[in-house]
A and B are shown apart, each in its own frame.
Chain A
């Protein structure tokens, strides 16, 4: 196996046994980027400028990592794959970046994404699409499509993504890697360019469960710069990898297996369930009655928050500034309107407009307030389930990766591809996607495990036990 195809725990073991030099790993990953990225386009910024490291001074974890383009790296281009942030180099590091620097990680660059994380296919990036390493005419999923594709294409050992409605799990599923959305409040959001503040979380994308636990160890924890970060102890997540799932109670929500689900996906999930049953886990079908309302609720709340979060991109302080050739209103309003006209892509405009509409005078109660109430009901579905169960298992997405361009002209069908992941963000609970098979078309299928708030250990425990009995996570793409 090539060095860039290894997992981090393999590299770390090799380092301790003196048979792997991290500089070689780094070079092999850089080489892969050079060779494959022109095809895959997982990265939007991968020049060394600003993130170069000293080969002679390795830290504890000299693991080459890709960072989603919405996480601030000091003095390094951070653009959310948007034209409007062109040239923006933040004067500060996100808290997760600070932590990773301290741990000695090696930053490879910024990974592609849907513009401002608005999308499920990475097709709305200003810099162009990322391709699925397993099948180049298919999307990698989104919005953290660049991050997931980089790991899958062995152009990074690890990646950080962000997940607002499935943006880590769905691309992980489409690219055959492991992606975790931690509990809301588990990882600091300071320095994550906000999409929807009450839903966003940064999370690890890796090749297997053990690596995921290792990376979460490094980024989790309370941050005094983030009022919404939970001040609770962080366990060593690798201790959860006990291989034991005996007598665990796992729920299967029937609403996740109705219309729209691909038969192959369904079969793979039930195969996984059988496998875990054989290891002693207990399964029961339950109902989560408000599942069908999640997408509608999400698109009101997330776009409302986004409309406000993205209001600051107005051409005054940083990024793009544009002025129309002829005056339309006042010079300053023209500057705002033209900058935002040129700077935002179609999907960003659509979401800002939708969010502004639902907050605007006369519509707040009918849309925003109502959605906040339905959010309560959706959260109650999870509270109820977790009274009797340790975890919930569902597919991550109803299908495998779809074709490039297949859904770009129909926003609503694109929104519905997140149908299995969105509720988790609304409820704030953690969930992981891990590979559980391949469809006949050669594309990976993802299994989603959902846990109680701050019980990421349960996800790792079940996921790891599943990995012990399968080989899916060991499959590497050949490019």
Chain B
């Protein structure tokens, strides 16, 4: 059972502002989808190992050798706001 409060909490965790209408709608659709997902509970997986990677790859490294970086100009080229080579954001108060 997913409540409106759950949806608000998840929205904030996801850093998405929702209108009241969106919150209402999402509460219903998420409830529906989670209801469908319930079908996994009919399986006994207590002895099954989880799969994170489908390929049996392991120990993939790179050597500690420098590669060229982007120029400062390229790094901040797409920035919505910048100041003297840095990305600018509203003041973060601590």
A touching B, CB within 8 angstroms: yes
Q: Report the minimal beta-carbon distance from A181 to chain B, rounded to whole angstroms.
A: 13
Q: Which of B15, B40, B52, B54 contacts A336 (CB 8 A)?
A: B15
Q: Are the C-beta atoms of A357 and B6 separated by less than 8 Å?
A: yes
Confirm or deny: A370 has a beta carbon within 8 angstroms of a beta carbon on chain B: yes
Complex Cα spacing A345 to B87, Å: 26
Q: Are the C-beta atoms of B70 and A377 separated by less than 8 Å?
A: no
Q: Report the minimal beta-carbon distance from A297 to chain B, rounded to whole angstroms.
A: 7
Q: Are the C-beta atoms of A185 and B55 separated by less than 8 Å?
A: yes
Confirm or deny: A155 has a beta carbon within 8 angstroms of a beta carbon on chain B: no
Contact flag A376-B49 (CB < 8 Å), given A296-B39, A335-B89: yes
Complex Cα spacing A154 to B80, Å: 37
B61: nearest chain-A partner, CB-CB: A227
- Residues of chain B with a CB closer than 8 A to A376's CB: 48-51
Q: Are the C-beta atoms of B16 and A340 separated by less than 8 Å?
A: yes
Q: Which of A89, A338, A352, A372 contacts B52 (CB 8 A)?
A: A372
A residues 175-206 with Cβ under 8 Å of B?
Answer: 184-185, 198
B71: nearest chain-A partner, CB-CB: A91
Chain A 363-404, CB-CB to B under 8 Å as 1, else 0, gives: 000010111111111010000000000000000000000000
Contact flag A375-B50 (CB < 8 Å), given A317-B78, A319-B80, A321-B80: yes
Q: Report the minimal beta-carbon distance from A184 to chain B, rounded to whole angstroms.
A: 5
Confirm or deny: B1 has a beta carbon within 8 angstroms of a beta carbon on chain A: no
Q: Which of A318, A324, A349, A357 contacts B16 (CB 8 A)?
A: A349
Q: Are the C-beta atoms of B91 and A353 separated by less than 8 Å?
A: no
Complex Cα spacing A283 to B84, Å: 67
Confirm or deny: B85 has a beta carbon within 8 angstroms of a beta carbon on chain A: no
Q: Are the C-beta atoms of B30 and A331 separated by less than 8 Å?
A: no
Chain B 4-25, CB-CB to A under 8 Å as 1, else 0, gives: 0011001111111110001000
Contact flag A296-B49 (CB < 8 Å), given A224-B62, A319-B78: no
Main secondary structure of the interface of A (DSSP, over half): helix
Complex Cα spacing A354 to B36, Å: 13
Q: Which of A185, A323, A370 contacts B40 (CB 8 A)?
A: A370
Q: Are the C-beta atoms of A353 and B30 separated by less than 8 Å?
A: yes
Q: Are the C-beta atoms of A296 and B40 separated by less than 8 Å?
A: yes
Q: Report the minimal beta-carbon distance from A285 to chain B, rounded to whole angstroms.
A: 23
Complex Cα spacing A297 to B43, Å: 12
Q: Are the C-beta atoms of A198 and B37 separated by less than 8 Å?
A: no
Q: Which of A297, A352, A373, A377 contacts B14 (CB 8 A)?
A: A352
- Residues of chain B with a CB closer than 8 A to A354's CB: 30, 33-34
Q: Are the C-beta atoms of B54 and A427 separated by less than 8 Å?
A: yes
Q: Report the minimal beta-carbon distance from A302 to chain B, rounded to whole angstroms.
A: 12
Complex Cα spacing A245 to B77, Å: 54
Contact flag A91-B80 (CB < 8 Å), given A336-B15, A370-B45: no
Confirm or deny: A15 has a beta carbon within 8 angstroms of a beta carbon on chain B: no
Q: Are the C-beta atoms of A198 and B30 separated by less than 8 Å?
A: no
Q: For B6, B37, B41, which residue has the most chain A Cβ atoms within 10 angstroms?
A: B37
Q: Report the minimal beta-carbon distance from B43 to chain A, rounded to whole angstroms.
A: 6
Confirm or deny: B53 has a beta carbon within 8 angstroms of a beta carbon on chain A: yes
- Residues of chain B with a CB closer than 8 A to A330's CB: 92-93
Q: Are the C-beta atoms of B79 and A371 separated by less than 8 Å?
A: no
Confirm or deny: A293 has a beta carbon within 8 angstroms of a beta carbon on chain B: yes
Complex Cα spacing A427 to B53, Å: 10
Chain A residues with a Cβ under 8 A of chain B = 87-89, 91, 184-185, 198, 224, 227-228, 230, 290, 292-293, 295-297, 299-300, 307, 311, 314-321, 323-324, 328, 330-338, 340-341, 344, 346, 349-350, 352-354, 356-357, 360, 367, 369-377, 379, 411-412, 415, 426-428, 453
Closest 3 interchain pairs by CB?
Answer: A428-B54, A372-B50, A331-B90
With A317-B78, A349-B18 already in contact, 6 other A-B pairs whose C-beta atoms are closer than 8 Å: A319-B80, A340-B15, A344-B16, A354-B30, A370-B40, A411-B32
Chain B residues with a Cβ under 8 A of chain A = 2, 6-7, 10-18, 22, 26, 29-30, 32-34, 36-37, 39-41, 43, 45, 48-55, 57, 60, 62, 70, 74-75, 77-81, 87, 89-93
List, sorted by A's number, 26 A–B pairs whose CB atoms are closer than 8 Å. Answer: A91-B75, A91-B77, A184-B54, A228-B60, A290-B43, A296-B37, A316-B89, A318-B79, A321-B81, A323-B90, A335-B89, A341-B17, A349-B26, A350-B26, A353-B30, A357-B34, A370-B41, A372-B50, A373-B45, A373-B49, A375-B51, A377-B48, A379-B54, A411-B32, A426-B54, A453-B55
